[in-house]
Amino acid sequence: MSYSNINLIVIGDRNWPGTPIYLEYLLRNGYQVKKILLCDFYESGSFRNKLEKAVHTVSPSLYKRAFSPCLEIYNPLLQELYSAFQSFFDFEVNLNLQEVNYHKYSDCIEKYKFWNFKDPNLLKILIKNKESNFLYISGGIVPKYIFEQGIRLIHVHPGYIPYTRGSDGLLWSLRIRGKLGYSCFFMNEHIDGGDLLYRHELELDDFSKYRPLISEHYEIFYRALLMGYDPHLRAKTLINTLQLNGGVLNRDKVLDKGNDEGREFFRMHPKLIKRTLLDYFK
Amino acid sequence: MSSLMKSLIIDYISRNFSIGKKTVKLNDKDLYTEDFLRGLNFSGNLSEKEFNMFEFLIKKIEVTKKLHKHYDMNTLKPVTVAHVPANVCAVFMCYCMLFYLSTQDYKFLNTFLKIKDGVLFNQNFGMNLELRIMCEEFVLHVL
């Protein structure tokens, strides 16, 4: 298969399955990215989660002795659901992310450790490569000064912009519009603002056989959706965007969002998460 | 059940907050939180301006976990560092319940749940027993 090189640098979180999932879709659709910045973002997650990750990195055996293991790779139900939810798609990415071979996705891979997007070392790297577009996958809040430097970050949000902006987009989309929505855009300093490249809405797959798990295990169910289902749909949205634009993403091709600013939604309360899963995943 | 629930909430607000008794003229420059809430009517039918201002306050609470007394609507920032008193936090939560019942807008329900569970508002606004019971009844009713 021949690949077309695209002017895209992936800022990939090494601990998030979305990174290999995006890259696999790009590869399978004939796109080779210019570079992968493979990053460890220290700040993501709670303090407990960070501590566990740190201990696990140093010594998995110590981690197993010291903690009641709750990192994703030690939760059997999460592992099974993560795998099951990926069965809706053409391929599955193993949860053991440290074993992913990134060299098949790009000739240029650089590994970094950053605190978050405010890390000055990250800014230096972005400025150095600013003639390229960057794919933002995760890593927390992006400070305004990054955009002021003319750095172009592309992001796929699980919501039909502008109507469902903000956190927990997958569930808010279902709750507010009755279907899933995904949008690809150039980020700016506003929450899910910026120039829109592509958006679409789609029906949810048939989750009926997993529904009995929701009442007791809704947190794990949702986590598995975010890790094993949502990243596939985000990556497909990016592919659609690239295909529509002949592999070239620039601001000449933005869509008109209209005057409606839509609404911004915030992190969903656990009780509402459970209710929403029960209402729509059937 | 919804209308009974609404009546309970309205009754609670009326007894604890002299609401609707003051005509508040909204302007585009300032938002005085307490006055704004006092000026809202109980029907749940908000004007577009009121709706936008209420959403603005929801955003402020969700992001900062605080509700200030006075906001500048041009900069969208608080004018003073002073927070609203505890009874205003309680009334704001009651309005979230009321507007959810009127509009079925889950954004109101979401903010209500977070305030009730202490996720929002750094200051403990000390819900009294009557309010706690009403909130739990509301949750049982809507979820």
Task: Starting at the earlier edge strand, list the strands of the sheet with B77-78.
Answer: B30-32, B70-72, B77-78
Residue to substitute from B107, B111, B139, interface A, most A β-carbons within 10 A: B107
The structure tokens 């909430």 sit at: B9
Cβ contacts of A275 on chain B, cutoff 8 Å = 143
> How many Å apart are CA B52 and CA B58, to the nearest integer?
10
Cα B137–chain centre separation: 18
| Per-residue pLDDT at A12 | 95
Chain A contact for B109, CB < 8 A? Answer: yes
Chain A residue whose CA is closest to B139: A271
φ, ψ at B120 (rounded to 5°): -105, 165
Residue A205 C-alpha, separation from nearest chain B C-alpha, in angstroms: 23
List residues bridging with A9 in a β-sheet.
A35, A134
| Per-residue pLDDT at A220 | 95
| Per-residue pLDDT at A178 | 96
Q: Could you report the per-residue pLDDT of A185-218, keeping only the tens digit for each?
A: 999 999 998 999 999 999 999 999 999 999 999 9
Closest Cβ opposite residue B59 in set A264, A267, A275 = A264
> How many Å apart are CA B8 and CA B4, to the nearest integer?
6
Percent of chain B with pLDDT over 70: 90
> How many Å apart are CA B109 and CA A269, to the nearest integer?
9
| Per-residue pLDDT at A169 | 97
Q: pLDDT grade, residue B127 (50/70/90)?
A: confident
Segment among A30-44, A161-175, B91-105 with least mean pLDDT = A30-44
| Per-residue pLDDT at B95 | 93
CB spacing of A271 vs B119 below 8 angstroms: no
> How many Å apart are CA A27 and CA A85, to the nearest integer?
21
Q: pLDDT grade, residue A54 (50/70/90)?
A: confident
Asked if A222 contacts A272 with a C-beta cutoff of 8 angstroms, the reply is no
| Per-residue pLDDT at B123 | 53
Closest Cβ opposite residue B62 in set A176, A263, A266 = A266
DSSP code of residue B17: S
List residues bridging with A114 in a β-sheet.
A41
CB spacing of B106 vs A269 below 8 angstroms: no
Residue A101 one-letter amino acid: N
Cα B44–chain centre separation: 12
Residue to substitute from A164, A272, A279, interface B, most B β-carbons within 10 A: A272
The residue among B29 and A30 whose pLDDT is bigger is: A30
Q: pLDDT grade, residue A75 (50/70/90)?
A: confident
Q: For every residue of chain A, which 3-state class applies, written as one string?
A: CCCEEEEEEEEEECCCCHHHHHHHHHHHCCEEEEEEEEEEECCCCCHHHHHHHHHHHHCHHHHHHHCCCCCHHHCHHHHHHHHHHHCCCCCCCCCCHHHCCHHHCCCCEEEEEECCCCCHHHHHHHHHCCCCEEEECCCCCCCHHHHHCCCEEEEEECCCCCCCEECCHHHHHHHHHCCEEEEEEECCCCCCCCCEEEEEEECCCCCHHHHHHHHHHHHHHHHHHHHHCHHHHHHHHHHHHHHHCCCCCCHHHCCCCCCCCCCEECCCCHHHHHHHHHHHCC
The residue among A9 and B34 whose pLDDT is bigger is: A9
List residues bridging with A85 in a β-sheet.
none
Copy the structure tokens of residue A31.
């796109």
Chain B residue whose CA is closest to A274: B143
Cβ contacts of B141 on chain A, cutoff 8 Å = none
pLDDT tops 70 at residue A95: yes
Q: Could you report the per-residue pLDDT of B131-142, keeping only the tens digit for each?
A: 999 999 999 999
Residue B110 C-alpha, separation from nearest chain A C-alpha, in angstroms: 6
CB spacing of B143 vs A268 below 8 angstroms: no
| Per-residue pLDDT at A270 | 96
Chain A contact for B103, CB < 8 A? Answer: no
Compute the Cα dihedral for A215, A270, A206, A87 and give only its sign.
negative
| Per-residue pLDDT at B120 | 76
Summary mean pLDDT of chain A: 91
The structure tokens 């690949």 sit at: A3
Residue B89 C-alpha, separation from nearest chain A C-alpha, in angstroms: 18
Q: pLDDT grade, residue B39 (50/70/90)?
A: confident
Which uninterrupted H or E stretch holds B99?
helix B86-103
pLDDT tops 90 at residue A180: yes
Q: Which residues of chain A have a Cβ shorter than 8 Å from any chain B Cβ?
A: 172, 175-176, 263-269, 271-272, 275
Q: pLDDT grade, residue A116 (50/70/90)?
A: confident
Q: pLDDT grade, residue B23 (50/70/90)?
A: low
Which uninterrupted H or E stretch holds B78?
strand B77-78
| Per-residue pLDDT at A133 | 97
CB spacing of B143 vs A275 below 8 angstroms: yes
> How many Å apart are CA A274 and CA B109, to the nearest integer?
14
| Per-residue pLDDT at A135 | 98
What mean pLDDT is predicted for residues A37-52? Answer: 76
Residue B113 C-alpha, separation from nearest chain A C-alpha, in angstroms: 7
Percent of chain A with pLDDT over 90: 74
What's the first-to-final CA gap in chain A, in angstroms? 39
Cβ contacts of A165 on chain B, cutoff 8 Å = none
What mean pLDDT is predicted for residues B51-64? Answer: 92
Cβ contacts of B55 on chain A, cutoff 8 Å = 263
Asked if A174 contacts A265 with a C-beta cutoff of 8 angstroms, the reply is no
Cβ contacts of B59 on chain A, cutoff 8 Å = 264, 266
> How many Å apart are CA A32 and CA A6, to the nearest integer?
6
Asked if A32 contacts A242 with a C-beta cutoff of 8 angstroms, the reply is no
| Per-residue pLDDT at B2 | 84
Q: What is the dihedral of CA A75, A77, A81, A84, to 10 degrees?
A: 110
Asked if A23 contacts A33 with a C-beta cutoff of 8 angstroms, the reply is yes
Residue A244's nearest CA partner among A202, A188, A199, A193 is A199
CB spacing of A176 vs B106 below 8 angstroms: yes
pLDDT tops 70 at residue B45: yes
